[in-house]
Amino acid sequence: MATLPQDPALDSAFSLLRHGYRFISGKCRTLHTDVFRTRLLLRPVVCMQGAEAARLFYEQDKFLRHGAMPARIQKTLTGVDGVQSLDGQPHRHRKHLFIRQLMSPARIEALATLHQAHWHAAMAQWPLNRRMVLFDEAQKILCQSVCAWAGIPLPASELNQRAQAFGRMIDSGARLGLAHWRGRRARKSAEQWISAEIKKTRATGPENSDSLLQAFAWHRDEQGHLLPAGVAAVELINVLRPTVAIAQFMTFSVLALHEYPYVRAPLESSHPDYLDWFVLEVRRFYPFFPFLAAYTRQAFTWQGFEFQKGMLTLLDIYGTNHDPRCWYQPDTFNPERFSNWPQDHYTLLANGGATYEHHHRCPGEWITHRLMKVMVRFLVDNLHYEIPAQDLSFSLADMPALPKSRMIIRPVAYQP
């Protein structure tokens, strides 16, 4: 049994800020390992990468999620006491609510239809030749679609403010200073808004409606108690906020269409699978969440290395999505790699790994995939646009990463 390889740096917090998405894989390369011990802000942390590490990370007798998410992320991105922080039976019970509400094909199609209609409505009003910041428009259209789908009233006059608030919650977890505090304020106001909707729903009694608002307002825990209104709001925001976050992948989809123009022909043809492969490749290739966090639940040995109980452990998402052992030429954008993908659960970690029911894998993964398809189809089939000169670069040190210009397009023709 060996001790874990040790990062020789006294503290690697600065290196994490400097290297961002490439921090774990970069250290792994230097130390010739898939797992190492380091210190982040003086705290000992284990970092891991690769499919075998992912398989280990999702073993529930070895890892716990409760308390693993840093407070600054809970106060901005995820909220406190949400499904992400639960383990065991309480997690499975709460997760079932998300799976029921988010993963039925009929529900996903209803959201996709709404989303498509909102893109058409937005474009019908957009003056041709006027520049559009695609990331900002996508956030608004996603916010509008998901609120309508979830049964949450959203007056047109509030759309910009609400979409921007979700955007700030997503953007601010890893930021410092003002940007971070803006994210905290945005979360507070979103929680007040959605808590008020939950309370209103409860005050008027159960309705004969299958909206998400009704389902979350009336959800009961394993003891049969309604969730505190604040927690029900955190969970409903766990649907709204990440749906708005799909704008990041939509933006990268447009970047991919621009930078790898050879994908257009198969997308325009009636190839039955190419759009799925394209969306999968965008989700693999481009950065989104950098890593996942959990605590070791007990001491154990893995691949000859000794893990102590209670160690904060980070699993590298970006590095695993770019691991050459899992992906041939991982830094090449190549949708066709998915033509013979075995669909295993530990190599493509963009939305987490393992199972939806028993693990923390993202219950919005199918929605993400479907809405990206709606948007790419719309861009390819209904819109003719130009890409004006702009700074399309993005930095892997920025978490979350986004092209600097937020992807400006100039629509020149729209076909309803």
By the rule CB under 6 A, 73 interacts with ligand HEM:
no
Stretch that binds ligand HEM, among 124-132, 243-251, 318-326, 378-386 (CB under 6 A): 243-251
The span of 121-129, 205-213, 303-311, 344-352 binding ligand HEM (CB under 6 A) equals 344-352
What's the burial of 368, exposed, middle or buried (CB within 10 Å: 0-12/13-18/19+)? buried
**Bridge partners, residue 48, by sequence:** 35, 315
Residue 56 touching ligand HEM (CB under 6 A): no
Does residue 400 have a cis bond before it (omega within 30 degrees)? yes
Residues 269-328 interacting with ligand HEM (rule: CB under 6 A):
288-289, 292
Q: How far is the CB of 303 from ligand HEM (least distance, A)?
A: 21
The least CB distance from residue 249 to ligand HEM, in Å, is 6
Q: Minimum CB separation from ligand HEM for residue 348, in Å? A: 11
Residue 364 makes contact with ligand HEM by CB under 6 A: yes
For position 239 contacting ligand HEM by CB under 6 A, the verdict is yes
Nearer to ligand HEM, 98 or 307 (CB): 98
CA dihedral 135, 141, 147, 150 (to 10 degrees): -100
According to the binding rule CB under 6 A, does residue 21 interact with ligand HEM? no
* Least Cβ distance, residue 413 to ligand HEM (angstroms): 29
* Closest residue to ligand HEM, based on beta-carbon distance: 364
240 and 150 Cβ atoms separated by less than 8 Å? yes
For strand 305-307 and strand 300-302, is the pairing parallel, antiparallel, or unpaired?
antiparallel
Question: Binding of ligand HEM at residue 233 (CB under 6 A)?
Answer: no
Q: What are phi and psi of 229, to 5 degrees?
A: -55, -35
In the chain, the amino acid numbered 226 is L
The minimum distance between CB 355 and ligand HEM, in angstroms, equals 10
User: If DSSP states are collapsed to H, E and C, what string results for 170-217?
Assistant: HHHCCCCHHHHHHHHHHHHHHHHHHHHHHHHHHHHCCCCCCCHHHHHH
- State how far Cα 302 lies from the chain centre: 29
Stretch that binds ligand HEM, among 171-179, 190-198, 327-335, 362-370 (CB under 6 A): 362-370
The binder of ligand HEM chosen from 350, 375, 402, 407 (CB under 6 A): 350
Minimum CB distance to ligand HEM, residue 403 (Å): 16
Judged by CB under 6 A, the residue of 20, 50, 363, 403 near ligand HEM is 363
What string of DSSP letters covers 138-166? HHHHHHHHHHHHHT----GGGHHHHHHHH
3-class DSSP state of 297: coil
Shortest CB 360 distance to ligand HEM, Å: 3
User: How crowded is residue 286: how many other Cβ atoms within 10 Å of its Cβ?
Assistant: 23
Q: What CA–CA distance (Å, rounded) separates 57 from 51? A: 10
Least distance to ligand HEM from the beta carbon of 216, Å?
Answer: 11
Sole window of 47-55, 129-137, 302-310, 346-354 interacting with ligand HEM (rule: CB under 6 A): 346-354
One of 25, 49, 243, 321 touching ligand HEM (CB under 6 A): 243
Please tell me whether residue 83 binds ligand HEM under the rule CB under 6 A. Answer: yes
**Given 50, 151, 173, 242, the residue binding ligand HEM (CB under 6 A):** 242
Binder of ligand HEM out of 62, 75, 95, 168 (CB under 6 A): 95
CB-based burial, 15-33: b 16+ in 10 Å, e otherwise: bbeebbbbbbbebbeebeb
Nearest to 87 by CA among 66, 62, 71: 66
Rounded Cα distance between 164 and 124, Å, is 22
Number of residues that bind ligand HEM (CB under 6 A): 25
Give the binding site for ligand HEM (CB under 6 A): 83-84, 95, 98, 102, 238-239, 242-243, 245-246, 249, 288-289, 292, 350-352, 360-364, 367-368
